[in-house]
Structure 1
Amino acid sequence: MNFLDLFKKFTSSTETMKISDEDIVVFLVGPSGSGKSWFISEVAKSDKIVVSKGQHPCTKKVQAFKCSFDSGPNSIVFVDTPSFHTEDDDINAEDKMKTWIKTRYTTKCKRVGVLYLHRIATDPAVDPKAIQRHLNTFANAFSGIAYVPQRLHVVATLDKDSDKIKDNVIELRKSRLQDQMKSLDGGRVKWRSSMYLHMFEGNPDTAWDAVQELLNSET
């Protein structure tokens, strides 16, 4: 199954409470402010998604949005996850993720993958274990419930507040991010990881291109 021209074939989206065995599922994982809700709002074109304007967590529950296509693939469900490591201890993100998996993710779906988002305004060198820590917590939420999705695509995001960062600094940070992504292979979960070479800056066609790379890597 090849995933091509998803941006052009997209017709509609709706919030969903259940995953079917014919669905393709993409989980969005990353720290607060990395752009998870922003990314989904662009692919799903939904005003039901609240997008954070800063580093404080906006996503405080798990939400799923099902996207449909004209003469295209199966429906793709994007799962917006709360940040697992945040200053807001009241969120209990891991517990909420476990509850969602138990009640919503109850059947084996057609295909599944993970997009890990990183805001390029944050130098990866500041917290070199951030990716590993977030993904380990994400994997723990599946423990004893369901198979952990291991196909991973890392996407750097650049918002309007970060547009003054020089190009050479951006390239250096992307390189550091890629190095951290490669080191995941030695972790507890054997992630099959890769990195999107462009950056998501709010364009839906770029977002869909990253999704296509993730899904086509499984074919």
Structure 2
Amino acid sequence: MPSAKLWGGLFGPSAGISDEDSVVLVIGPSGSGKSEFINIATRSTKMVVHHGLESGTLQVQSASCPSPLNKRRGVVFVDTPAFDNNWASIAEVERRIRHWLEKNGKRNNTISGILYLHRISDARMTIPPLASLSRLGDLCKGGDIGEKIYLLTTMWNEKNKKVGAQREVEIKQKYWAEMISQGSKVFRFERTHESAWRVVNALLHLEE
């Protein structure tokens, strides 16, 4: 079982992220399951999962664990405040992320990729992905921006699979078509360790 490590605080203490570590930004609207995804991926309970309608994560924090496919390679999952929160603008959230990277010693303040989470139970989107992701795209190192952003649907156990699949098609066509055309991939998170790492391995181009 991977051993998770938590870095908290408003911007996080100086955790000394290695240049070999892969930093993955986990973003999405309030209640999309960001903290839960990180807990399941790292097999820990260190991220507090909130169940209210308002944003639970008010600060940038992270947890890390070795990649299941390469124990010598660390993956750092960064939990971020929701972009639809009621206390800070997208620009402020972006500033906090950049400051967190600086404080934790990440060279060139770059990240390996972004996971954008969306509840499949939601019929509508509060903020289109591009409105949020366009400000963060230049944090990703190398490659086309679309290939560095993967789109992840969550809360599948709360909806009938058939209804969810129909909604997934609609979301891809109506909201995510531009991202997909730029190289983004769509995955389902089914609240399992395996489904979490399926998308992470693909995002980081790790071989099964």
Normalised-by-shorter TM-score class: 0.7 to 0.9
Aligned to 2:185: 194
Provide the C-alpha distance between the structure 1 equivalents of 2:68 and 2:125, rounded to a whole number of angstroms: 42
Aligned to 1:83: 82
Aligned length: 195
Aligned to 1:5: none
Q: Which runs of 5+ in 1 are unaligned?
A: 1-9
Deviation of the 1:175 alpha carbon: 1.2
Indicate how the Cα distance of structure 1 residues 69 and 84 shifts in structure 2: closer, same or farther if over 3 A, else same: closer
Give 4+ residue runs of structure 1 displaced > 4 Å after superposition: 108-111, 146-149
Indicate how the Cα distance of structure 1 residues 71 and 212 shifts in structure 2: closer, same or farther if over 3 A, else same: closer
TM-score, normalised to structure 1, is: 0.75
Tell me whether 1:104 sits opposite 2:104 in the alignment: yes
Provide the C-alpha distance between the structure 1 equivalents of 2:163 and 2:39, rounded to a whole number of angstroms: 28
Task: Tell me if structure 2 keeps the 8 A contact 1:12–1:69.
Answer: no
| Equivalences for residues 195-214 of structure 1 within 5 A | 195-196=186-187, 199-214=188-203
Provide the C-alpha distance between the structure 1 equivalents of 2:16 and 2:166, rounded to a whole number of angstroms: 41
Question: In the alignment, which of 5, 21, 30 is matched to residue 14 of structure 1?
Answer: 5
Task: Tell me if structure 1 keeps the 8 A contact 2:69–2:206.
Answer: no
Tell me whether 1:50 sits opposite 2:39 in the alignment: no
1:48-72 deviations in Å (ceiling 9; x for gaps):
2101113321111111212025782
| Equivalences for residues 159-170 of structure 1 within 5 A | 163=158, 165-170=159-164
Q: Which runs of 5+ in 2 are unaligned?
A: 8-14
Aligned to 1:133: 131
Provide the C-alpha distance between the structure 2 equivalents of 1:24 and 1:64, rounded to a whole number of angstroms: 12
Provide the C-alpha distance between the structure 2 equivalents of 1:122 and 1:84, rounded to a whole number of angstroms: 16
Aligned to 1:153: 150
Identical-residue share of aligned pairs (%): 29
Aligned to 2:205: 216
Kindly report the root-mean-square deviation, in angstroms, between the aligned alpha carbons of the 2 structures.
3.2
Task: Tell me if structure 1 keeps the 8 A contact 2:21–2:74.
Answer: yes
Task: Tell me if structure 1 keeps the 8 A contact 2:67–2:74.
Answer: yes
Task: Tell me if structure 2 keeps the 8 A contact 1:23–1:111.
Answer: no
Indicate how the Cα distance of structure 1 residues 39 and 155 shifts in structure 2: closer, same or farther if over 3 A, else same: same
Provide the C-alpha distance between the structure 2 equivalents of 1:215 and 1:71, rounded to a whole number of angstroms: 11
